[in-house]
Amino acid sequence: MTKKQPINPYLPPWEYVPDGEPYVFGDRVYVYGSHDLYNGHVFCLGDYVCWSAPVDDLGNWRYEGVIYPKTDDPVNRDGSMCLYAPDVTRGPDGRYYLYYVLDHVSFVSVAVCDTPAGRYRFLGVVRYPDGTPLGSAPGDEPQFDPGVLTEGDRTYLYTGFCGHGDKSRHGAMATVLDRDMLTVIEPPKIIVPGSSYSAGTGFEGHAFFEAPSIRKFGDTYFFIYSSEVMHELCYAVSKSPREGFSYRGVLVSNGDIGIGTYKDANLPAAYIANNHGSVVEVGGEYFIFYHRHTNGTWYSRQGCAERLTRTPDGGFLQAEITSQGLSPSPLPSKAEYPAYIACNLYLASAPHRFGGDCPKIVQDGRDGDHEIGYIANVGNGMVAGFKYLDFSGVTALTVKTRGYIHGEFEVRTSPDGPSLGSVRVYGSNIWQAHTASVRVPDGVHAVYLCFSGTGNGHLKSIEFS
């Protein structure tokens, strides 16, 4: 069977699964996350779904279906609350346990299933031995964004949320659960500080905000989290699951802030907002899963992933956001690619500004309709970047546009680089192909389409030939 080319986002363009927690169970990678809706008005309106892919074919994702409806929780039969970011662990009994928090409660709920992607059933609430829910006892801080790791008969539960200036929240917490996966046997302990308590800790500027996730590689625990600046996923390491964590760096920023190879490191190259994800090892390689924001809002997020490079001391370099994502090599240039895989998207005149008339990824139809995404708000000064493509013998570019725009797309291999040719487009109320000569040097390059002209339109796809 021919393997499918991986791209970013890695799921179909009509699917919105942020907060991705990837795991290898057997010979497949499973991704668990919350579930946004296209054109959703708040976060996480959908039921939990699961997607999986063979470990040797990371472009071939399979929909596993709804694994847990939000109305299955006894306190949410009317569906008025949303399922926030979950995590899954395999318990001592070999079953799979789903940990989650509803948006209006401060305790952690648990569901269980015999298989990684079957129908999970409500089990109970994480509680102290006397039955008091964790998060409800005197002195407890509210529980949020559970991350879990099981070792032997113990499960380590990581939770927390620390808003800016909120001194009632101290940081990320680690709690130990018994083999029943519900009972607290060691109470919460702060392992990474929030911004109000980060002075002198080494976490300054990258203090804990939300999205705790935990992984263990070798004998080292990696605590992954969203920092106080929200757009980045950071990590800290320790030899112990509940103490001694030290800050190590940024894994990814969904605006590529911190990456200075093709732009000013402090400038975003895509819409920045919250972030959540984790790391998975597949066949000796490491990947960071995260999410991007579409539709010009915070509420229609899509999962993306990048390859990580390990450092000699066992850490990771910050990954650059790309269109190729999980692909082991750059994308072949001579193919038609949908415009929604653009990893860089902004206005050249105001790269810090997003929303309003700025370019954005959208789709036709309603949530759930199997529609291909595209770039809307294509107007004067739009920059769309695709990374990375392997060019060989390219002499022409075709773009498909719609809407009443008049102007041209200049082709460059860096945002401020020389023009390698341009494609002139004109207004149309249907998708229209426009082709022109371009000369992209052979080799691996990013490609940027920079539009100048009048009007406002849509970009569906690009194709080099």
Average pLDDT for residues 9-16, to the nearest whole number?
Answer: 98
Average pLDDT for residues 267-290, to the nearest whole number?
Answer: 97
Question: CB within 8 A of 4, min separation 6: which ones?
Answer: 57, 59, 60
Give the Cα separation of 297 and 285 in Å (integer): 33
Question: CB within 8 A of 305, min separation 6: which ones?
Answer: 8, 10, 20, 22, 287, 288, 289, 290, 325, 326
pLDDT at position 353: 83
For 265-283, give the DSSP string. TTS-SS-------EEEEET
- Is 336 among the residues known to form the active site? no
Where do we find the tokens 């990824």? Answer: 361
pLDDT at position 2: 77
pLDDT at position 1: 61
Average pLDDT for residues 291-301, to the nearest whole number?
Answer: 96
Considering the chain, what is the average pLDDT of its residues? Answer: 97
pLDDT at position 352: 81
In the chain, % of residues over pLDDT 90: 97
Residue 334 contacts residue 464 (beta carbons within 8 Å) = yes
- Is 210 among the residues known to form the active site? yes
- Residues present in the chain in total: 465
pLDDT at position 20: 98
Which range among 30-34, 54-58, 162-166, 319-323 shows the weakest confidence by mean pLDDT?
162-166
pLDDT tens digits, residue range 57-70? Answer: 999 999 999 999 99
Structural domains in the chain, sorted by start: 21-308 (2.115.10.20), 331-464 (2.60.120.260)
Residue 126 scores a pLDDT above 80: yes
Average pLDDT for residues 204-230, to the nearest whole number?
Answer: 98
Q: Which of 210, 228, 256, 306 is catalytic?
A: 210
Average pLDDT for residues 133-140, to the nearest whole number?
Answer: 97
- B/e letters for 199-237, b = 16+ CB within 10 Å, e = fewer, are eeeebeebbbbbbbbbbeeeeebbbbbbbbbbbbbbbbb
pLDDT at position 351: 80
Average pLDDT for residues 245-260, to the nearest whole number?
Answer: 98
Residue 34 contacts residue 85 (beta carbons within 8 Å) = yes
pLDDT tens digits, residue range 140-193? Answer: 999 999 999 999 999 999 999 999 999 999 999 999 999 999 999 999 999 999
Residue 48 contacts residue 406 (beta carbons within 8 Å) = no
